[in-house]
A = this chain, B = another copy of it.
Amino acid sequence: MDPNVHLPQVPLRKRTETLEDFNKIPAHVFPASAGRTEDGELVIAGNRVTHLADQYGTATFVMDEADFRARCRRLAEAFGGGERVHYASKAFLSRTVCRWVDEEGLALDVASHGELAVALAAGFPPERITVHGNNKNHEFITAAVQAGVELVVIDSLIEIDRVAEIARQEGRVQDVLVRVKPGVHADTHEFIATSHEDQKFGFSLASGSAENACLSCLSTDGLRLRGLHCHVGSQVFEADGFALAADRLLGLWARLVSGEKTVDADVTALDVLDLGGGYGIAYTPDQEALDVEEVAGDLLSRVATKAASYGVNAPVVNVEPGRAVVGPSAVTVYRVGTVKDVHTADDTVRRYISVDGGMSDNIRPALYQAEYDCRLANRLATGDLVSTRVVGSHCESGDILINDALMPDDIAPGDLLVIPATGAYCYMMASRYNMMTRPPVIVVADGESRVMIRRETVEDVLALENF
């Protein structure tokens, strides 16, 4: 009926994909338990996605508990113990996930009063909680100190006085790290050895601000300086940036513990070098996650060697993965609503597939130009591959989930599409734009499923209103 359907398709980046490829479930992008049944349905942890969609509706997040736990264990082993690995809760936080992290022996990072409140509500041990944030107010710091969190990461001079005063009022000495900008910026496949000073977090190493902040902490009653912190980037595939940042921080470390500038201060408590997170995961089949064993081995030996070269004891190394734990553990299940072939300006055709979600449950393509993979879940596809854009249901033309992909042309309304690697920064950044309330998060494990977070409803929205 549409006169455009026989026009040539728009050019596409990944022309090499085949139908056979499309029907495969890429193991390094999906949860470990994902695969197809003999009749071609996608199954995760023994649950057919068609059954999950029938039971819980769509859109829905599906999280593989065993996959999440396995990634925790792998990181703990690589870095020499769970207490070295701080799960960055901003990636995905619920009480259930706090319990999993606790049971696997990992530590936990929180970056707001709300994240701390959720962790404590879950019963997470405060002595394994580290507190982040560029704007910790009095209430947040008080809650953290009263709870007895292990570490507060100092991010500004104002905070030195603020944390110390609260600690003294509470009759405590609060262990702190100082957040340092090492002048290293690592993102994806490259790192930059200079710059990235012009951002809100931390104290500049190059300018001397970081050292001054450390000296200030060392001379302030109520604080005990335990070490240094840095974070070089997000979704990093190139490990050299972490190593260079560690090298630079150890220079400051050596000056501090050598006692040169710290004659009257007790530097014996310094034992932690926190190198942050940012370990890249595979969102699409052409990516390979950062090898955490390799990075861990490299970093730990580098820190030991560098510390020895300065004649000081090596600190323990903490890391803060979030995405690398939860990112690949969850997928989003959508149902196809409409399919149409769109005549583009250059007399070609692009197929548009609309699903029952979009930028409200995954803002990352619109916000970061993030790329995702997408597979048919309820059957094997049989059609010809055509240039396709997967879009959401929002009233906004930028509401795109998959900007361009080759997808089979037999995908039709009612089919189920699954986007993998949506465990991190999707539910947490979800909005109710267009009154499309948040999907549920379903846990799958051993052939069973259960609700971790229920679907929001319009009634939930209306309950906030005075009317």
Contact = CB atoms under 8 A, between A and B. Distances in A.
Nearest to A216: B1
A447 interface: no
B194 A345 contact: yes
Contact of A200 (B209, B342, B345): B342
Given A436-B112, A462-B121, A207 B354 contact: no
A194 B343 CA distance: 13
Interface string A23-58: 000000000000000000000000000000000000
A114 B117 CA distance: 30
Contacts of A99: 467
A451 B397 CA distance: 33
A190 interface: no
B397 A114 contact: no
A467 B122 contact: yes
A349 B3 CA distance: 59
Interface string A1-38: 11110000010000000000000000000000000000
Given A96-B465, A338-B134, A395-B133, A198 B10 contact: yes
A284 interface: no
A324 to B, nearest CB: 16
Contacts of A454: 464-466
Interface string A93-109: 11110010000000000
A431 B434 contact: no
A288 interface: no
Contacts of A451: 466
A452 interface: yes
Contact of A367 (B338, B350, B363, B437): B363
A452 B466 contact: yes
Contact of A434 (B90, B209, B391): B90
Contact of A432 (B2, B216, B399, B428): B428
Interface string A185-212: 0000000001111111100101111001
Nearest to A393: B135
A271 interface: no
Interface residues of A, number: 97
A391 B134 contact: yes
Interface in A345-362: 345, 350, 352, 354-356
A385 B109 CA distance: 37
A442 to B, nearest CB: 10
Interface string A113-143: 1110110011000000000111111000000
A436 B114 contact: yes
Contacts of A338: 134-135, 155-156, 158-159
A200 B354 contact: yes
Contacts of A461: 114, 118
Contacts of A135: 337-338, 354-356, 392-393
A209 B343 contact: yes
Given A200-B397, A395-B112, A435-B117, A340 B206 contact: no
Given A158-B339, A199-B342, A4 B207 contact: yes
A159 B212 CA distance: 65
A366 interface: yes
A395 B132 contact: yes
A90 B196 contact: no
Residue from A209, A356, A430 with most neighbouring chain B CB atoms (10 Å): A209
Contacts of A158: 338-340, 413
A458 B342 CA distance: 44
Contacts of A437: 114
10 contacts: A90-B433, A96-B465, A113-B435, A114-B432, A118-B462, A158-B339, A194-B345, A201-B397, A367-B367, A428-B434
Interface of A: 1-4, 10, 88, 90, 93-96, 99, 111-115, 117-118, 121-122, 132-137, 155-159, 194-201, 204, 206-209, 212, 216, 337-340, 342-345, 350, 352, 354-356, 363, 366-367, 389, 391-395, 397, 399, 413, 428-438, 450-454, 456, 458, 460-462, 464-467
